[in-house]
Homo-oligomer: A and B are copies of this chain.
Amino acid sequence: MKLSTKGRYAVTAMMDLAIHDRIGPVTLADISQCQGISLSYLEQLFAKLRKHGLVEGVRGPGGGYRLAKPADRITVANIITAVDENVDVTRCQGNEDCQQGDRCLTHELWKDLSQQLYSFLDGITLAQFANRPEVQAVARRQDREINRHHFIFSRTAA
Query: For A36, what are the chain B residues with a Cβ–Cβ distance below 8 Å?
Result: 91-92, 98
Residue of B98, B121, B138 near A105 (CB, 8 A) is B138
Closest to A158 in B: B100
Q: Interface readout for A88-113 with B: 1 if CB under 8 Å, 0 if not? A: 10011000001110111111011001
Does A157 count as interface, using CB distance less than 8 angstroms?
Answer: no
Does A8 count as interface, using CB distance less than 8 angstroms?
Answer: yes
Of A9-17, A41-49, A53-61, A63-71, the segment with at least 4 beta carbons within 8 Å of chain B is A9-17
Residue of B104, B109, B134, B142 near A34 (CB, 8 A) is B104
Task: Flag if A3 contacts B1 (CB, 8 Å).
Answer: yes
Q: In angstroms, how far is the closest chain B Cβ from the Cβ of A29? A: 13
Query: For A135, what are the chain B residues with a Cβ–Cβ distance below 8 Å?
Result: 105, 109
Does A35 count as interface, using CB distance less than 8 angstroms?
Answer: yes
Task: Flag if A103 contacts B34 (CB, 8 Å).
Answer: yes
Does A116 count as interface, using CB distance less than 8 angstroms?
Answer: yes
Query: For A92, what are the chain B residues with a Cβ–Cβ distance below 8 Å?
Result: 36
Query: For A15, what are the chain B residues with a Cβ–Cβ distance below 8 Å?
Result: 106, 109-110
Query: For A12, what are the chain B residues with a Cβ–Cβ distance below 8 Å?
Result: 106-107, 109-110
Given the known inter-chain contacts A12-B107, A35-B91, A35-B106, please indicate yes or no for A124 contacting B120, CB distance below 8 A: no
